[in-house]
């Protein structure tokens, strides 16, 4: 039966208690006489009869009744007048419309339509095109205004429906793909393609109907027309024609209405009609695609600014400001005198429409900054003056927009120069109201601000008062404005604008200009630049003083209850933080904030990204920012995105300069000393129990973070420490002699404390898989580091030797019992490569000695052998990490000469390019080498080149920008992108405020089977002590060689890493996994469909998706049905049906059934989606 879509919202609405039933609905669930079995089922629940419960009972009754009633009544009774049970299914509604349309002249039909049919139809998100003929008929014949209003509404929805699987822009209950259904639809096979031209035809005729009686309908049809698909150029040009046609008639300035009658009271009929039409056509024009080549747009939009209708003015201004962004010169010319005192733009200042004034601000900003108007400073300053006046606007929205415009933020493109001059403007310029301001404005307000005011003072005062607001949006916006201010300020400092002297006394400008007031009052240019007078007085009236007092207020705002406001405040503080200010206060604010569990991971990462952006603006701040990032890593390791954090480390490491490198690396290594899990228990497998006991999720995340840090250290420690084997002067033999471990450690730390520190940290967390990182370091470092690591790995693999060695690696004080770890297998390849290198070095030294003793020259064969060993070792080493092949000497520095001799003799080029096994095996992308080969070939410049390369990459993102996931996030963030849907944490899905009935039901039924399984699953996913996740985390050590490194980036394997995690026992990665994309069932699956009135439309059910799947499958009794009509699959996941075919219904989704057939159909498919309406359920 067609009403099987089980739509809760429709149920709720059709539960509408008519007078007859309303009395019972509010008290108990006592079923009315006609109650069916399902009603009694709900009353056996024995729960207190809440309103909801009784509603359910009523609903069920009505729904059940409706099925039978609809069968009996609707079909026969054309006017179901006193029918208590309203139609609930879409097809019944549709049928009613067809029937009622035919009798639309009758009052009762009209009432039925307005009160029952149309409101219920609104629940669906799209409208069947086959309704169009009836709607059009109603449109022509019915005279009832309420009916007609609905008709326009639905016609617009048909026009706007893109037909994509029942998901239109409208929202509501998803409905089937009407066009796909239409081919075989019993209603008559009408598709959108059939009806859209007819609708447009009729609406266009109405839109051009000049009859005064028809006036209101004309406006509505114009509106409905804007929903027509704008991709169709025929329709579009037709719409332009209609709109411009109307505007031509009404926009004639000679007949323009006078000002001051905005409400329309007392206006004559003709002019009101004109302004209404102007409103409707400008609103329509605003929704149509802007055609910059068409001068009519600008012309009519400029006329519209003088319209009597405030909404028309807003739309006109929006159009004009959009055009101004492309062609400021034309707009400025077209606006002409409008901007001058008494002009239309000045009137907008007092228009009671916030968004109109916002558009005005943008318009003024665009024109006053336009390069095209460099020749016309007068025009620019006029617009500038209007912009500055908007700083006094009573609405925060407008004032803040004006501030942002002044600050140089008015589009998404961030230009440092623009920002810097924005800061200059804000701190230097002065607002002086034009003397000839319009009369309305010269009330009390303008009295107060008659005296010219420095912008900065105005802005600060305004912001401070906004921060005292109780409204959270205002606080949020104010913090955002401060953040933008910080950006502009940072830009000004970055460009080194000499004039930025924040100690200057701002009143000096004002006073100076005050004195000249009389002289300049005749001057059209009311805003003047004044040179800064720096007297260095610190105090309330210096910029620094004002900033300090503002920041005081900003800081107090962290007391706001709303975490989003606090996040914005912290971002503002980060931006306002100067590179040389003390950041103790900020640090303590952030630290105390982070202990608040209300912070979501997304929000925290946003702040991390802000740190990134801040670093980009002021590389000087690298160390400060790293310190802040460190707080994140230590306080909320479970919430931060390790990739973003790593990227921040890296960019800061590169940006920190030679002096900051050590500090930068410290910030990273600190992660390995994280406090939450105590030393000794934190990193080993044994620790997991303890951490997971408190919070399994964050323990897992912590491990990931630690791995990230380990990998980062391995990859970048050598860079940070500027320690490279190929630049090491120490011959290997020297180190070999220092076999005493303590001496070795001492030598190491005196030689390079940075690297030694990193090494110690890495050794300490050997159980986190740091051996790979250590191997990388061993390969890249000279002695004694390599030997130190070699011995450590050896100990780890073999065990039993630690007493002979230093206890560095055991600093946690526990006997790790290396022999029992079973790590030998994992470590042996790494030890082997070092073994080979050392033995080859030994051999070489022997050979050299032999040759020296015998005073023999090296023969070609000997050289060849040596060279082959060299190449073989290089290949071997390249398997582990990237090394510059041209310079790397696995055989030690003494081999350099000999290999060089052989190369020259045999004319072998140093760079081997593609034969590099690292390329062949795909372990490394070798981005560095492939794009920077010249640099790598230049022996002495490597280090600098690395830095330069990276510094450059930070600027243009060329190397990284497109493939590193974290980098994408950073770039997106910097670009201000953000339409992606937010991810909802896993726990969200469980957090439904109340335990609903079907939850309980599901529990009792499924408790013993699926729920346990689910629990086990989710445990496996989130708690690392289950074997499954240990496996995943170990495997990710190996899959996890994906972290960014200065040497090589392997961003592509990041995905693989993720995938491998996802393919573990969990779908832990959450909502972003494809499984989550599947829309939730809008009605409950299978057998408890009737009971689940609670079933949310939102689909944010209390159950996780996996468990839903399980329920579907496990709900046991499959439902069978038969195809009512033929259905042709419209997509890959759909299934074609032949009428009468038997199917097994698996579950329902969005008005679709997932069904299985007994045998494959013509297309060979056995299972897929079919529209609910097409299947008959017994």
Partner 1 sequence: MILAVLFANAEGNILIERFHGVPAEERLHWRSFLVKLGADNLKGVKNEELLVACHKSVYIVYTILGDVSIYVVGKDAYDELALSEVIFTITSAVKDVCGKPPTERRFLDKYGRICLCLDEIVWKGYLENTEKDRIKRLIRLKPPTEF
- Of residues 60, 123, 891, 1067, which one binds partner 1 by CB under 8 A? 123
Least spacing, CB of residue 487 vs partner 1, in Å = 14
CB 367 within 8 A of CB 332: yes
Nearer Cβ to partner 1 (146/507)? 146
Distance CA 479, CA 559 (A): 13
For residues 511-550, which are near partner 1 according to CB under 8 A?
none
Mark out the alpha helices in 83-191 (DSSP H runs): 90-102, 107-112, 118-121, 132-141, 145-160, 178-182
- Nearest distance in Å: CB 264, partner 1: 4
Cβ neighbors of 238 (< 8 A, separation 6 or more) are 200, 204
- Choosing from 219, 633, 670, 823, the residue that interacts with partner 1 (CB under 8 A) is 219
Other Cβ atoms within 10 Å of 659 Cβ, number: 9
Our CB check for partner 1 shows the closer of 678 and 1100 to be 1100
Stretch that binds partner 1, among 562-570, 671-679, 753-761, 792-800 (CB under 8 A): 562-570
Span of 283-291, 589-597, 816-824, 1136-1144 interacting with partner 1 by CB under 8 A:
283-291
Residue number with CB closer to partner 1 (453 or 483): 483
With CB under 8 A as the contact rule, the residue among 1, 45, 119, 1113 that binds partner 1 is: 119
Q: Is 1144 helix (H, G, I), strand (E, B) or coil?
A: strand
Query: Toward partner 1, which CB reaches closer, 8 or 692?
Result: 8
Note the Cα 627 to chain centre separation in Å: 26
Cα–Cα distance for residue pair 1156/1143, rounded to 1 Å: 6
Which one among 234, 375, 980, 1132 touches partner 1, defined by CB under 8 A? 980
Opening angle at CA 509, ends 507 and 513, nearest 5: 115
Contacting partner 1 (CB under 8 A), which of 293, 982, 1116, 1164?
Answer: 982
| Of positions 1, 9, 73, 236, contacts partner 1 by CB under 8 A | 9
Tell me: does residue 558 bind partner 1 (CB under 8 A): no
- 578 within 8 A of 500, measured Cβ to Cβ: no
Name the minimum Å distance from CB 1065 to partner 1.
24
**What DSSP letter does each residue of 1065-1124 carry, written as one string?**
S--TTGGGSHHHHSPPPSS--GGGTTT-TT--SS---SS-HHHHHHHHHHT-S-EEEEES
Determine the number of helices (DSSP H) and then strands (DSSP E) in the chain.
57, 7
For residues 373 and 368, what is the distance between their CA atoms, to the nearest angstrom? 8
- Under rule CB under 8 A, which residues in 297-326 are in contact with partner 1? 308-309, 311, 318
Pick the binder of partner 1 from 41, 78, 114, 544 (CB under 8 A): 114
Q: Smallest distance from the beta carbon of 976 to partner 1, in angstroms? A: 5
Among 4, 8, 795, 1036, binds partner 1 (CB under 8 A): 8
CB of 366 to partner 1, least distance (A): 13
User: Could you tell me the two tokens for 505?
Assistant: 């006394």
Between 16 and 587, whose beta carbon lies closer to partner 1? 16
If binding is defined by CB under 8 A, does position 593 make contact with partner 1? Answer: no
1100 near partner 1 (CB under 8 A): yes
Dihedral sign (CA 703, 708, 709, 711): positive
Task: Please list, in sequence order, all residues whose beta carbon lies within 8 angstroms of the beta carbon of residue 106, skipping any fewer than 6 positions away.
Answer: 79
Q: DSSP states of 853-897 as a string? A: HHTPPPPHHHHHHHHHHHHHHHHHHHTTS---TTT--TT-TTHHH
Q: Under the criterion CB under 8 A, does residue 641 sit at the interface with partner 1?
A: no
Does position 1091 bind partner 1 by CB under 8 A?
no
Q: Which of 210, 548, 1098, 1166 binds partner 1 (CB under 8 A)?
A: 1098
Q: Which residue has the tokens 């690297």?
A: 755
Cα(833)–Cα(908) distance, rounded to whole angstroms? 25
471 belongs to the binding site for partner 1 (CB under 8 A)? yes
Give the interface segment with partner 1, choosing from 134-142, 259-267, 539-547, 1167-1175 (CB under 8 A). 259-267
Q: Does 1096 bind partner 1 (CB under 8 A)?
A: yes
Tell whether residue 250 is a contact of partner 1 (CB under 8 A): no
Shortest approach of partner 1 to residue 618 CB, angstroms? Answer: 22
3-state secondary structure 54-71: HHHHHHHHHHHHHHHHHH
Q: Which is nearer to partner 1, 119 or 731 (CB)?
A: 119
Please identify which residue in 663, 851, 992, 1112 interacts with partner 1, judged by CB under 8 A. 992
Decide whether 150 or 902 has the Cβ nearer to partner 1: 150
| Binding flag, residue 505, partner 1 (CB under 8 A) | no
Q: Is 466 or 526 the residue whose CB approaches partner 1 more closely?
A: 466
Tokens of 952: 């450059």
Q: Which stretch binds partner 1 (CB under 8 A): 525-533, 714-722, 791-799, 983-991?
A: 983-991
Measure the CA–CA gap between 623 and 98, rounded to whole angstroms.
72
Stretch that binds partner 1, among 103-111, 378-386, 868-876, 1072-1080 (CB under 8 A): 1072-1080
Of residues 384-413, which lie at the interface with partner 1 (CB under 8 A)? 395-397, 400
1070: left (phi over 0), alpha (psi -120 to 50) or beta: left
Does 476 interact with partner 1 (rule: CB under 8 A)?
yes
Rounded CA-CA distance 745/749 in Å is 6
Residues 129-158 that bind partner 1 (CB under 8 A): 145-146, 148-150, 152-153, 156
Neighbours of 763 (CB within 10 A): 22
Residues 6 or more apart whose Cβ sits within 8 Å of residue 933:
911, 913
Out of 564, 575, 583, 792, the only residue in the binding site for partner 1 (CB under 8 A) is 564
Residue with Cβ nearer partner 1 (51 or 252): 51
| Residues contacting residue 755 through CB under 8 Å, at least 6 positions apart | 717, 718, 720, 721, 723, 748, 777, 781, 785
Of 102-110, 777-785, 989-997, 1129-1137: span binding partner 1 (CB under 8 A): 989-997
Could you give the CA distance from residue 14 to residue 22 in angstroms, rounded to a whole number?
12
Instruction: Give the shortest CB-557-to-partner 1 separation in angstroms.
Output: 13
Interacting positions 156-185 with partner 1 (CB under 8 A): 156, 164-165, 167, 169-172
Site for partner 1 in 347-376 (CB under 8 A): 353-355, 358, 362
996, 1033, 1066, 1083: residue in contact with partner 1 (rule CB under 8 A):
996
Closer residue to partner 1, CB minimum distance, 139 or 1022 = 139
Nearest approach, Cβ of residue 1079 and partner 1 (Å): 5
Applying CB under 8 A, among 189, 342, 829, 976 the residue interacting with partner 1 is 976
d(CA 570, CA 557): 10
Could you tell me the maximum CA-CA distance found in the chain, to the nearest angstrom?
Answer: 122
Task: Please tell me the distance from the alpha carbon of residue 267 to that of residue 820, in angstroms, as a whole number.
Answer: 95
CB of 278 to partner 1, least distance (A): 11
Of the candidates 487, 490, 471, 479, the residue with the CA atom closest to the CA atom of residue 410: 487
- Residue 12 near partner 1 by CB under 8 A: yes
Q: What is the DSSP letter of 611?
A: H
- Between the alpha carbon of residue 863 and those of residues 839, 854, 867, the distances in Å are 17, 16, 6
Specify the stretch interacting with partner 1 by CB under 8 A; choose among 120-128, 697-705, 733-741, 836-844: 120-128
Q: Which stretch binds partner 1 (CB under 8 A): 80-88, 468-476, 617-625, 767-775?
A: 468-476
Size of the site for partner 1 (CB under 8 A): 104
Site for partner 1 in 37-96 (CB under 8 A): 51
- Residue 544: other Cβ atoms inside 10 A: 14
Contact status: 981 vs partner 1 (CB under 8 A): yes
> What is the distance between the alpha carbons of residues 717 and 756, in angstroms, rounded to a whole number?
9
Tokens encoding 897: 């000469």
Q: In this structure, what token pair is assigned to residue 96?
A: 């009613």
């Amino acid at each position: 039966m067609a009403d099987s879509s089980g739509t809760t919202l429709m149920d709720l609405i059709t539960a509408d208690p008519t007078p007859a039933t309303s009395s019972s609905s509010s008290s108990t669930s006592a079923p009315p006489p006609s109650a069916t079995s399902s009603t009694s089922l709900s009353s056996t629940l024995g729960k207190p009869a809440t309103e909801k419960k009784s509603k359910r009972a009523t609903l069920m009754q009505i729904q059940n009744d409706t099925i039978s009633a609809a069968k009996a009544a609707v079909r026969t009774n054309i006017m179901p007048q006193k029918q208590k049970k309203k139609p609930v299914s879409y097809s019944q509604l549709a049928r009613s419309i067809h029937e009622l349309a035919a009798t639309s002249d009758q009052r009762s039909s009209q009432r039925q339509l307005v009160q029952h049919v149309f409101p219920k139809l609104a629940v669906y998100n799209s409208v069947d095109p086959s309704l169009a003929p009836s709607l059009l008929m109603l449109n022509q014949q019915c005279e009832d205004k309420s009916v007609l209003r609905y008709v326009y509404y639905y016609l617009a929805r048909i026009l706007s429906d893109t037909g994509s699987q029942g998901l239109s822009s409208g929202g509501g209950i998803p409905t089937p793909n009407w066009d796909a259904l239409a081919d075989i639809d019993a209603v008559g096979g009408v598709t959108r393609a059939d009806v859209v031209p007819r609708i447009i035809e009729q609406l266009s005729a109405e839109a051009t109907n000049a009859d005064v009686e028809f006036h209101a309908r004309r406006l509505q049809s114009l509106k409905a027309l804007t929903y027509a698909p704008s991709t169709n150029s025929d329709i579009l040009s037709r719409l332009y024609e209609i709109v411009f046609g109307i505007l031509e008639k009404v926009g004639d300035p000679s007949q323009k209405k006078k000002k001051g009658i905005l409400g329309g009271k007392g206006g004559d009929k003709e002019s009101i009609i004109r302004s209404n039409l102007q409103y409707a056509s400008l609103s329509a024009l605003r929704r149509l695609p802007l055609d910059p080549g068409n001068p009519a747009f600008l012309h009519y939009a400029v006329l519209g600014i003088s319209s009597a209708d405030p909404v028309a003015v807003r739309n006109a201004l929006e159009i004009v400001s959009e055009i101004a962004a492309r062609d400021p010169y034309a707009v400025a010319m077209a606006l002409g005198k409008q901007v001058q005192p008494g002009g239309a733009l000045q009137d907008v200042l007092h228009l009671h429409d916030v968004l109109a004034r916002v558009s005005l601000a943008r318009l003024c900003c665009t024109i006053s900054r336009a390069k095209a108007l460099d020749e016309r400073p007068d025009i620019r300053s006029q617009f500038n003056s209007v912009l500055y006046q908007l700083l006094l606007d009573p609405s925060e929205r407008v004032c803040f927009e004006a501030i942002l415009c002044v600050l140089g933020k008015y589009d998404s493109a961030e230009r440092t120069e623009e920002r810097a001059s924005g800061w200059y403007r804000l701190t230097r310029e002065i607002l002086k109201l034009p003397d000839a301001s319009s009369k309305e404005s010269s009330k009390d307000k303008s009295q107060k601000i008659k005296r010219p005011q420095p912008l900065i003072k105005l802005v600060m005062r305004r912001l401070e008062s906004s921060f005292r607001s109780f409204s959270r949006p205002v606080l949020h916006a104010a913090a955002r404005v401060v953040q933008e201010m910080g950006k502009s300020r940072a830009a000004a400092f970055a460009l080194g604008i000499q004039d930025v002297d924040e100690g200057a006394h701002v009143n000096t400008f004002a006073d100076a200009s005050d004195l000249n007031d009389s002289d300049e009052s005749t001057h059209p240019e009311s805003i003047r630049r004044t040179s800064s007078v720096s007297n260095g007085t610190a105090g309330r009236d210096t910029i620094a003083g004002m900033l300090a007092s503002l920041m005081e207020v900003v800081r107090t705002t962290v007391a706001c209850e709303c975490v989003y406001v606090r996040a914005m405040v912290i971002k503002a503080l980060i931006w306002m933080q100067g590179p040389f200010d003390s950041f103790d206060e900020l640090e303590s604010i952030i630290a105390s904030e982070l202990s608040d569990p209300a912070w979501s991971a997304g929000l925290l990462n946003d702040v991390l990204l802000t740190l990134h952006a801040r670093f980009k603006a002021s590389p000087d701040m690298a160390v400060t920012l790293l310190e802040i990032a460190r707080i994140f890593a230590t306080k909320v390791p479970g919430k931060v995105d390790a990739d973003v954090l790593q990227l921040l480390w890296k960019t800061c490491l590169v940006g920190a300069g030679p002096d900051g490198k050590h500090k930068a690396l410290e910030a990273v290594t600190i992660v390995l000393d994280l406090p939450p899990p105590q030393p000794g228990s934190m990193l080993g497998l044994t620790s997991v129990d303890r951490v997971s006991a408190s919070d399994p999720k964050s323990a897992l995340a912590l491990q990931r973070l630690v791995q990230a840090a380990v990998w980062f250290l391995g990859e970048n420690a050598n860079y940070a420490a500027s320690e490279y084997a190929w630049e090491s002067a120490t011959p290997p033999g020297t180190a070999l002699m220092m076999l005493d471990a303590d001496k070795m450690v001492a030598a190491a730390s005196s030689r390079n404390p940075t690297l030694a520190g990193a090494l110690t940290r890495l050794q300490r967390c050997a159980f986190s898989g740091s051996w790979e990182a250590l191997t990388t370091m061993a390969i890249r470092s000279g002695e004694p580091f390599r030997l130190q690591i070699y011995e450590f790995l050896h100990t780890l693999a073999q065990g039993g030797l630690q007493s002979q060695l230093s206890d560095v690696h055991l600093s946690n004080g526990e006997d790790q019992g290396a022999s029992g770890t079973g790590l030998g297998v994992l470590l042996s390849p790494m030890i082997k490569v070092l073994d080979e290198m050392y033995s080859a070095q030994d051999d070489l030294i022997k050979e050299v000695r032999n040759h020296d003793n015998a005073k023999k020259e090296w023969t070609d064969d000997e050289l060849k052998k040596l060279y082959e060993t060299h190449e073989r070792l290089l290949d071997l080493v390249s398997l582990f990490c990237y090394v510059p092949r041209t310079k790397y000497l696995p055989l030690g520095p003494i081999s350099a000469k000999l290999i060089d001799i052989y190369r020259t003799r045999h004319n072998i080029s140093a760079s081997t390019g593609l034969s590099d096994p690292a390329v062949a095996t795909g372990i490394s992308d070798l981005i560095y080498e492939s794009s920077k080969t010249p640099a790598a070939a230049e022996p002495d410049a490597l280090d600098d080149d690395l830095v330069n390369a990276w510094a450059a990459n930070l600027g243009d993102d060329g190397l990284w920008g497109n493939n590193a996931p974290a980098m994408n996030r950073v770039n997106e963030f910097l670009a201000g992108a953000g339409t992606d849907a937010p991810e909802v944490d896993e726990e969200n899905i469980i957090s439904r405020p109340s335990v609903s009935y079907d939850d309980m039901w599901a529990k009792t039924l499924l408790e013993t089977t699926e729920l346990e399984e689910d629990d086990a699953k989710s445990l496996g996913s989130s708690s690392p002590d289950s074997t499954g996740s240990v496996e995943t985390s170990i495997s990710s050590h190996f899959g996890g060689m994906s972290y960014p490194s200065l040497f090589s980036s392997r961003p592509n394997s990041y995905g693989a890493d993720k995938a491998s995690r996802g393919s573990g026992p969990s779908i832990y990665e959450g909502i972003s996994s494809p499984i989550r994309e599947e829309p939730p069932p809008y009605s409950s699956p299978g057998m408890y469909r009737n009971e689940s009135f609670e079933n949310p439309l939102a689909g944010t059910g209390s159950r996780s998706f996996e468990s839903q799947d399980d329920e579907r499958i496990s709900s046991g009794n499959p439902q069978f049905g038969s195809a009512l009509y033929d259905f042709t699959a419209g997509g890959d996941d759909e299934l074609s049906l032949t009428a009468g075919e038997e199917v097994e219904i698996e579950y329902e989704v969005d008005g679709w059934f997932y069904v299985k057939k007994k045998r494959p159909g013509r297309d060979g498919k056995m299972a897929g989606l079919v529209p609910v309406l097409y299947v008959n359920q017994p």
